[in-house]
Amino acid sequence: MVTIYDIAKRANVSPMTVSRVINKSPLIKESTRLKVEAVIRELDYVPNKQARSLTSKETRLVALVIPDISNPFFTNVARGAEDKALQLGYHLILGNTDENPDKESQYINMLMSAGVDGVLLVPSGEASASHVKKLVKRNIPFVYVDRTIPQVPADSISGDNFQTTRQLTQHLIALGHRKIALINGPSSLSNVRERDQAFRETLQLAGIEPNPAYMIETHFKQDNLGEIIAKLVSLQQGERPTAILAANNFIGVNTLRALRTLQIRVPEEMAVTCFDDPDMIPDYNPFLTVAKQPAYDMGFLGMQLLIERIQSGAPAATRKIVLPSELIIRSSTGKPQDGN
């Protein structure tokens, strides 16, 4: 490996002078700079970041810890985060937690050891608090994306869960639905709690009393919702919900799949809508009515917040950015059938 010592010898200067040239120090004579630069090019020298980090204390590595890159929502978050990181000269390390706090904890440990300058984190629940505190203790900046751990304050960027839930619920109500089920994620997630609350409030504002049988808690992963859906549709005639609001794209798709198995037509017999588009490339065969959250922007802006913190260009107080989402009405929602 070519080092500054090799360059120094060949250019007949001291290593320190080479270091100064590399770092564009202004107190270098033009002639020596040219001489050194020539040798650098000649030997194809690339500075060793490990050695630099040892004194500078920064690695220019940041991590993005998300549940699953396969979820199109997080794919877009990742792309946004990567674009901003590249722009500011940082490298992005990717980690999938699968909503598993243990895996998340393992990751955080590895990342601290790898010396990342900061972390963009989608926490997997209350259980994340303990390892997030480790980041605080080590003074490693981090930014919450999509969800937060209220006990451990930090900058955050997320969708407007209240506005979005209201929008989707009101869309269904406006179509005439009054028996609406909410299939939500685990209540250990802050965004889940907000969606739950907004859902209840919106119903009540419309004079509909929330029905506990319609409030279902599951998780945000790819999975089989057969039982849950079967139970819902097997409710007494007149009790069966006419619409389902899925709290994320995986739940939305799994709901459709379960309904198909049960041979229940969408939207005729059951309207379905969800948070986040399940499609990366939605425009060729759009079907689901969704509330599309600005995933790319969340990643992009989140990375910006993070790097500002890293470079201490951020105010002391934690910042909270909430982005609105867009309701996209397609064909999975319609009026309820007569008799319901």
Which residues of this protein are in contact with DNA, per CB under 7 A?
A: 1, 3-5, 12-17, 19-20, 22-23, 27-29, 31-32, 45, 47-48, 51-52, 54-56
CB of 205 to a second copy, least distance (A): 31
Residue 5 binding target from DNA, a second copy, none, CB below 5 to 8 Å by type? DNA
- Pairwise CA distance, residues 58 & 115, whole Å: 8
Pick 25 or 130: Cβ nearer DNA: 25
Q: Say how many Å lie between the first and final Cα of the chain, rounded.
A: 75
DSSP 126: G
Pick 45 or 199: Cβ nearer a second copy: 45
Residue 91 within binding range of a second copy, rule CB under 8 A = yes
Q: Which of 283, 313, 315, 339 binds a second copy (CB under 8 A)?
A: 283
Pick 71 or 304: Cβ nearer a second copy: 71
At 284, the amino acid letter reads: Y
Residue 203, CA distances (Å) to 184, 207, 229, 336 in order: 16, 6, 21, 17
In 3D space, the residue among 216, 184, 192, 225 whose CA is nearest the CA of residue 123 turns out to be 192
Residue 56, CA distances (Å) to 33, 49, 61, 82 in order: 23, 10, 13, 23
Residue 288 binding target from a second copy, DNA, none, CB below 5 to 8 Å by type? a second copy
Residue 293 within binding range of a second copy, rule CB under 8 A = no
- Pairwise CA distance, residues 191 & 305, whole Å: 20
| Strand 61-66 with 155-159, pairing | unpaired
Pick 21 or 62: Cβ nearer DNA: 21
In 3D space, the residue among 137, 121, 156, 154 whose CA is nearest the CA of residue 316 turns out to be 154
Residue 329 within binding range of a second copy, rule CB under 8 A = no
What are the start-end ranges of the E strands in the chain? 61-66, 91-96, 118-121, 142-145, 155-159, 180-184, 215-217, 243-246, 271-275, 289-292, 320-323, 326-328
Residue 244 binding target from DNA, a second copy, none, CB below 5 to 8 Å by type? none
- Pairwise CA distance, residues 239 & 234, whole Å: 9
Residue 3 within binding range of a second copy, rule CB under 8 A = no
Residue 21: how many CB atoms within 10 A of its CB? 22
Residue 22 binding target from a second copy, DNA, none, CB below 5 to 8 Å by type? DNA
Residue 338 binding target from a second copy, DNA, none, CB below 5 to 8 Å by type? none
Residue 281 binding target from DNA, a second copy, none, CB below 5 to 8 Å by type? a second copy
Residue 257 within binding range of a second copy, rule CB under 8 A = yes
Residue 156 within binding range of a second copy, rule CB under 8 A = no
CB of 43 to DNA, least distance (A): 11
Residue 139: how many CB atoms within 10 A of its CB? 6
Which spans of this chain sit near a second copy (rule: CB under 8 A)? 1, 44, 46-51, 53-54, 57, 59-61, 68-72, 75-76, 78-79, 82-83, 86, 91-96, 109-115, 134, 137-138, 222, 249-250, 253, 256-257, 260, 278-281, 283-285, 287-288
